[in-house]
Structure 1
Amino acid sequence: MTALSADDVIRLLELQPHPERGHYRETFRDDPSGTDGRAASTAIYFLLSKDEISRWHRVDAAEIWHWYAGAPLLLSIAPPDGIAINTQLGPDLVNDERPQAAVLKG
């Protein structure tokens, strides 16, 4: 498999700039589940290039982060009790990297 640059991935997956930095494309949208008309769930591709970061923010729905390629990513989550949890997303399971992590609503 040929190593792809971030620009290659953005082009091949037809990603668009994300409002909070990075690039994304929605790949799935479930039917609305409540009176607010909001989808029960969605899925996106999301890419942060080498010098991009996602700033601290609250999420109003659970997020599942998946690592597919590139450098490992440190995902920091601060639950309501204020004790930050860091998960290194990446391929090196032996050294405590994980291919997926959940960020809970709130």
Structure 2
Amino acid sequence: MTPEELIAYYELEPIPREGGLFRRTWAGSERADGRPDGSAIVVLLTADDYSALHRLPSDEIWHHYLGDPLDLLLLAPDGTASAAVLGPDIRGGQHPQLTVPAGTWMGARTRGAWSFFGCTMAPGFTYEDYEHGDARELTARYPAEAARIAGLCRP
């Protein structure tokens, strides 16, 4: 499939602040606190966009579906940083599925023209959970990653 076909098929819309195009494909039953038991989305990132650094209060599982691999920057609460590649080449060190622990700053960019992937959370995502990364604050906390942070933050 092409990115245009994916956009039409899933009726993808822009992700507020974060970047990319998405569609929620599942939300579980509503819990007493108003959150769904779980949620799942599909996301399309193209070479002219990226998933801005953000963090969530629950683990988030990323799944690669189609297109090019995706580079992820992960900034852990303990001050360490790591990188991972979401993609199909398991022998080459890529991950078809990757869990980002709660409280970890995460941002991503496609390695090619486009990447189509999914994210799953339990309990489910709510917009109140989303915390947008600030380049100045993140650079102060993770100075060795300053260049990558600058490339994955937006106002």
Corresponding position of 2:50: 53
Structure 2 unaligned regions, length at least 5: 104-155
Q: Where has structure 1 moved over 6 Å in runs of 4 or more?
A: none
* Residue pairs, 1:22-101, within 5 angstroms: 22-34=20-32, 36-101=33-98
Structure 1 unaligned regions, length at least 5: none
Identity across the alignment (%): 40
Size of the alignment, in residue pairs? 102
Q: Which amino acid aligns with 1:22?
A: G
Distance 1:79 1:31 in 2: 30
Name the one with the larger strand percent.
2
Name the one with the larger helix percent.
2
Distance 1:51 1:96 in 2: 25
> How many angstroms does 1:89 deviate by?
0.7
Distance 1:44 1:25 in 2: 6
Give a deviation string over 1:14-58, Cα, whole Å, max 9, x none: 211111211111111111233x21112101111111221111112
- Does 1 or 2 have the higher relative contact order (CA < 8 Å, sep 6+)? 2
Corresponding position of 1:103: 100
